[in-house]
Structure 1
């Protein structure tokens, strides 16, 4: 059976018009919103540029602990935004939030900073777009949800697969109409060779980088080179490895596709089995099971070797008794059991409509339409005082589930998390690990003390 037989017919313009009740053009004509960015590296700038493309904004301020990042971002923003003005520059996000009355704050800093910066931005009165995963430990995420609700602000999490045009169509045209039948198994995977595993020597901190502020509440590692863009992701001090980086996207997508909440039980095994030569302390091999009633969602990653399916190296596979659905950021394929026509969905590009995408450094062309749609949904939620598609609570469930998988791997046993009591059921040791120790003088946020 030819998997390429049926090509998607829905046009990109129809797909993208489904984002929000106001549509793509509405926010370009609105009164400009005052915007600040925390974390002016790769994806922080990329998110900001997508917002500039779809809305009338005035980028007032940018914060980063790297002076080179700041200078580059200021130049690019002045070229992109309508006013042509350079934003004010800060190295301490607290000063930026205190001295500017911002409507929106984008957070593109490393994972270990998300909670403190998000909560501070919410307290300042801003709506927040924060990159995934929401947090490094579970209680940080709980505090972020509590802050969003207390201050009645919109928080959109950067799990943009929910705003990916071809995956929106997959959900509507395959999953929601029941073409898969009874769904009883899900597999998710990532086989990218993306785990940095070098052995650089310790060295002096360069003058342009405030390394102490970059580290913030995390443990202070000896400085061994610029931690961004990939190096920090290889350490558990700052994040949750490929599980928290890539797994959160696929789990979040599957939860959205199938309308799933918290897993009933989570178990995981893994470790450093192959790439043993470097400093990295995140697993190069890991599997996890997220258990739901009569449905297991299984994750597998390897940062070595070959993918199981070359066309789907980072993907989800949903198995039903009537068919199988494979999906990724690049494409999707529905394969019916028995007779029937396979249906193929292709990624949507918008190179002609947004030619600046082609010159943006390190821009993910396949993700650009999804990121723009995610911004429109965020703005729409602000306008309507409603919850966005990737509301902080949903982002927290997906992120915390991945964090719990890592804790299960560390402890060597399954975990059952109770979000009502914010404890791991019958496991005091695991419950204590839901909150990690912060470096002085930073204070860990708690949902009951927001």
Structure 2
């Protein structure tokens, strides 16, 4: 990937190549090859910046670009991404530990990404990738709420374009226009539908609380916390394609998510919410008559990590605590058959000489595999879903000697089938 920096109003930094971050395990490894959005670590503190900070990046196929910034004091921050020429960016914001703070696809309007949140002091990584994995040039902007917006997000966004994933319509229906439903209740104070037994029920318990209803009947759910708690909020039913937005009792925006897990949504509030009333606005991008199950439960860090591993968003630890099939040292070519379901199965490959690795995940018409390749540090090297006109996956990656982890899962959560892995190594000519 090539990264470019665009000069900003206010003279925050001059146009030119952004300097790479120091080699460190930032944001769980995601930020190791990131770019400080202010050009250097010292000039990337958004809490003290005189204006927004922005970078332009060329994201090649199935890769992502990561901008780094810091917060020196509790700050309300806006993060945005906008593609050029019809590009459709998706963003993830991670804290220094690698936990996803928020994700967004189309809240900025016209396919752009937009989110506002309150951040505590620390270092953060804002990743941008293309919705359908195609090459894209886009802009990433980080600023405080008083700074100029990059997109039209925040309630006045124009009609977004249709998302077109690389899968054919048998995989995932084309996303319709994002038209979130605004609760008619006017904020949390008037919400009449509560998760749990009612507005005074502040105990989430081990399993949390949940309710199910279509958006046509209920487009906002309330819940109350009686003690400070970090929480996880989910909305599930892929046929509806739900979007959830969290507000406090005063109607202040806290977080939003669309498509955290396939077409289902999830918000992880890793910083404890204070006691009080909250409400969850729910909209459906596909079918408002489909029932959506909305749940609130105590945030479980280990469950969050395992969820990322099962979807291929992160690689598992190599300490024996997670099942990994060791395929041995890759000499020239190896083949391995495995039953693959919706949770990623993981395979270890050792490479003793640098070169090109070609990986195929073949469903033979009975499956739709998705493949992810990571190095032993946890950095994603490559990703692929559909190769050409088939549902099979193909990864071609240049590698150095070392250990690599290959994750494979089914695109369709309801499917389990035999997937054939074919892995070949090509070394440079002497």
What range is the shorter-chain TM-score in? under 0.3
- Give the TM-score normalised by the residue count of structure 1: 0.25
**Structure number with higher helix proportion:** 1
The structure showing larger relative contact order (alpha-carbon pairs under 8 Å, at least 6 residues apart) is: 1
**Structure number with higher strand proportion:** 2
